[in-house]
Structure 1
Amino acid sequence: MTKSPRKLILGPIHVLAPGRSSKLSARSSKSKQFCSNFEESLPEYRNYQSNLKRSLYEQEER
């Protein structure tokens, strides 16, 4: 019984801690950068995937 209220109290404090917030913002900017890189590389990946499937089909036909 004593553990759950303590967790409730600690939760918001951790979110509001100044050290944490800067780390979180840095992390979010990193993830945004990763997402943009991922979106840019998606067409290339799809192209690679289709080429791979095509080569597999050609091997099966032989």
Structure 2
Amino acid sequence: MTKAPSHKHCIVCGKTIDDAETFCDEVCESKYRSAQRRQTLFFLVFIGLLILMLIVPVILKAPQG
């Protein structure tokens, strides 16, 4: 069995790339950055909703008067 030369794989599509690279081309890098932004946005929305779920009941239960 022969050994393959040292290499890595693109983290988006899995194509073989050089060791110094992370993506095979600009399209994969763009897809990755877009997915990261979307994931960050969803996380922030989730945290915001969680905070609202914890704070709104406290505000509504506050004694009036």
TM-score (normalizing by structure 1)? 0.51
TM-score (normalizing by structure 2)? 0.49
Identical residues among aligned pairs (%)? 13
Aligned to 1:18: 26
Q: Number of paired residues?
A: 46
More strand per residue: 2
Q: Could you list the per-position Cα deviations for residues 1-55 of structure 1 after superposition, in whole angstroms to 9, with x for gaps in the alignment?
A: 52361448725445251111110111011011111111111131x57xxxxxxxx
Higher relative contact order (CA 8 A, sep 6+): 2
Aligned to 1:3: 4
Q: Is the 8 A contact 1:14 1:20 kept in 2?
A: no
In the alignment, structure 2 segments of 5+ residues that lack a partner are: 10-15, 56-65
Moved over 3 A (4+): 6-9, 11-14
Pick from 28, 36, 40 the counterpart of residue 32 of structure 1: 40
In the alignment, structure 1 segments of 5+ residues that lack a partner are: 48-62
- CA-atom RMSD in angstroms: 3.0
